[in-house]
Structure 1
Amino acid sequence: MENRHVTIDNPLVSGILTQGGTFLGSNLLMLAINPVATRSYWSDYVSNPSHMGGVLYNSNQSLFGVIQRLAHQAVSNLTLTAVVAVTLLVGVTLAAFVGSRKSELAALITVGFTGDLVSPISWSHHLYWFVPLLIWLALGKDSPRLRGLSMVVVATACWASVIWLPPDNGSQTFHWTGLEQIAGNAYALFMVAFLMTIAIQTFRWNGDSSEVSLSA
């Protein structure tokens, strides 16, 4: 009897099936490990935003949080949604180009930072993509010229938890000074700076990884 193996040549379909299977498998695994918490999440928390903190809290480093803190919550949700939609489209498109012209790690970081920026809530403990960023800066052949300085700046800011330096009780985020705005939104600014730099580096890159600096 002849054995026949089904193969999927379309990379898009293959990717969708792989990601869907991974998502389903990981949730089934968590259901087996912690069924109570898993059922609670999918039956309540996933559609109930009341259990989360306020968007203005400085731990939220998404565009929603940063823009509303800077604008004193004067930006409409419609405008914010439009900004986020454009950011998502640009970020995902950029990641595709980065993946085809540079390293896969750089593309993954691009996707990760885009996701953190467009999410309504991106608490500081969600920003694990800074770890791959430091690895890429240290070991990536396509990392920028001033990789050493960039590593020191990013690692120091993360270690020092600079976003917690400005006052953050109640409406105090509306009264930050210029320096406090930079410190309180530092992680979001790093993510935006990375996306801008990787875009410049990707579309100008000719094989010389020293052409554009992350700190530029």
Structure 2
Amino acid sequence: MTQGARRTVGQVAAVIVLAVAVAGFLSVAAVRHGFFDLQVYRGALVWWVHEGGEIYDYLKPGTQYGFTYPPFAALVMLPMAYLSWHAAIVVSVAAGVVTSAVLIWWLLDPVSRRAGWTRWFAFAVALCLVAAFEPMRETINFGQVNTLLLFLVAVDLLRLLPGGSRWAGIGIGLATAIKLTPGIFIVYLLVTGRWRAAVTASGTATAATVLAAALFPDASREFWTSALWNTGRVGELAFVSNQSLRGVVARLDPESPSTLAWLLLVAVTLVLWAWRSRVAASVGDEATGLALTGAVMCLVSPVTWVHHLVWLLPGLLLLVDRGMAAPPGGRRRRVLLACATIGYAFLTSRIVWAWEKDFTGLDGFLFGNTYVWISLALLAFLPVRRAAPRSPSDPASPSDSAAVEPAGVPQLDQPDRRPPAGQRHRIGRALTVR
């Protein structure tokens, strides 16, 4: 047997062992939610389509939970009303797995090529590890839409569709029309000077919302005037699964959480995010922009359940990317890879649930909010890609020179090589002066 064949056999064996280990871990650690959220979605749609009720009047029997997404989301999910329960489960799981696999390939493949890893092996290992990742397994077990939204935003920001910037903003607009929280990516486009994409995203979200209003006027009226403002439909703010800044404040005083304290924390967090996003955009680092905005969305949203934290996955993968790009054996590589490992370990461990019943005291504050601290750490310290040095005679923009490493292997966000509009203007002026 040749050395290459032995290596392949060893890698196959390693993947099988890891897959068995992850399956064993999931059999013990994963909570079976019975596709609870999918039951809510489908129940509301069946009630609406087949039983003549209003979709936002529906509550899952025995619970306070109802359909909380905008009417355009109901339009997207409408086929579910005509599927059997088991068929709906198959579609939900397949959509979650496929979008997750494609996202991992997009984000990991450039790292694999630069590091010289066997690409299929790195992808298989990553799939196993992501299957154990608590936000991802919770998304699948609940029947949630988080990976679909992340998929739409990533396609948009990383310019992964043919035509590049011509379509910029459409994916973000559709994600915002399905669920309001991705609307912060429209703010990201504005903060980083991508005005055309921001207008496209806003126009897409508006057009989708108007379409839903034309098709379902009663449902649209009820959502925008009533259901949207009924916070009791989404659950208890102090519940330990709410890993947002609002959740932290609510757990400090569940009876009377301070809205002022929460708003102050949100304001400081948004200032930090805007500054770091502009720094990333200045070198064309849209992958870091995606990760930073995903983290801040989880932090400032009033409700961020654990399954929403799939938005932290790009940040963890970027830590690996930046670590592998650092000199071998250097302190920077060790620190970044250690941070990625520790963050992943905590986000796989279900540690916050140990304080589900009693989140008081210093231990409750520190460990019951563990995922919030990880989101803050990614927002504050995730390294922005360094622009590669270039010759003074090279007129290329900073993002063009940074998009490719010396070995010629593209960065994660290679598809977005154009600098922000304001930066292109400054570069043009500099060339004119020359």
Considering the TM-score relative to the shorter chain, is it more than 0.5? yes
Change in Cα spacing, 1:26 to 1:176, as seen in structure 2 (3 Å) is: farther
Q: Structure 1 residue 14: deviation in Å? A: 0.4
Aligned residue number for residue 65 of structure 1:
247
Match of residue 153, structure 1, among 325, 342, 356: 342
Give the 5 Å matches for 1:127-142: 127-140=309-322
Deviations 1:162-201 (A, max 9, x none): 2112233xxx22x2452x4333111100011122213xx5
Q: Work out whether 1:184 is the aligned partner of 2:368.
A: yes
Distance 1:64 1:142, change over 3 A: farther
The aligned residue for residue 105 of structure 1 is: 287
**Counterpart contact for 2:239–2:356, Cα < 8 Å:** no
Structure 2 unaligned blocks of 5 or more: 1-189, 327-331, 390-434
Matching residue of 2:169: none
Match of 2:265 among 69, 83, 102: 83
Structure 2 distance, partners of 1:130, 1:95, is 15
Equivalent residue number for residue 175 of structure 2: none
Q: Aligned-residue CA RMSD in angstroms?
A: 3.5
Which residue in 2 is equivalent to 1:15? 197
Cα distance change, pair 103–59 in 1 and its aligned pair in 2 (3 A) = same
Amino acid in structure 2 at the alignment position of 1:120: P
TM-score for the superposition, normalised by structure 1: 0.70
* Cα 1:93/1:99, change in 2 over 3 Å: same
Provide the C-alpha distance between the structure 2 equivalents of 1:160 and 1:25, rounded to a whole number of angstroms.
Answer: 41
How do residues 41-60 of structure 1 correspond to structure 2 at under 5 angstroms?
A: 41-42=223-224, 44-60=226-242
| CA contact 1:92–1:114 (8 Å) conserved in 2 | no
Partner of 1:6: none
Match of 2:378 in 1: 194
User: Given that residues 244 and 302 in structure 2 are in contact (C-alpha distance below 8 angstroms), is that contact kept between their aligned partners in structure 1?
Assistant: yes
TM-score (norm 2): 0.38
Q: How far does residue 41 in structure 1 lie from its aligned partner after superposition?
A: 4.2
Partner of 1:4: none
The alpha carbon displacement at 1:149 in A equals 1.8
Q: In 2, distance between residues paired with 1:142 and 1:28?
A: 46
Partner SS state of residue 240, structure 2: coil
Amino acid at match of 1:163: V
Summarize the Cα distance change of 1:45–1:206 in structure 2 as closer, same or farther, 3 Å threshold.
same
How far did 1:18 drift?
2.0
Give the match for residue 411 of structure 2.
Answer: none
Structure ID, larger Rg: 2
Does the C-alpha gap of structure 1 residues 12 and 196 become closer, same or farther in structure 2, counting only changes over 3 Å? Answer: closer
Which of 270, 275, 296 aligns to 1:114? It is 296
SS at match of 2:266: helix
Provide the C-alpha distance between the structure 2 equivalents of 1:138 and 1:24, rounded to a whole number of angstroms: 37
Kindly provide the CA deviation profile for residues 56-94 of structure 1, in whole angstroms up to 9, marking residues without a partner as x.
111111112113324666763223212212221221232
Structure 1, unaligned runs of 5 or more: 1-9, 209-216
1:24 aligned partner: 206
Distance in 2 separating the partners of 1:151 and 1:62: 20
Alignment size in residue pairs: 189
Amino acid in the other structure paired with 1:47: W
Q: Which moved more, 1:46-55 or 1:67-76?
A: 67-76
Identity %: 25
- SS of the aligned residue for 2:355 comes to coil
Match of residue 167 from structure 1? 356
Cα deviation for residue 35 of structure 1 reads 6.1
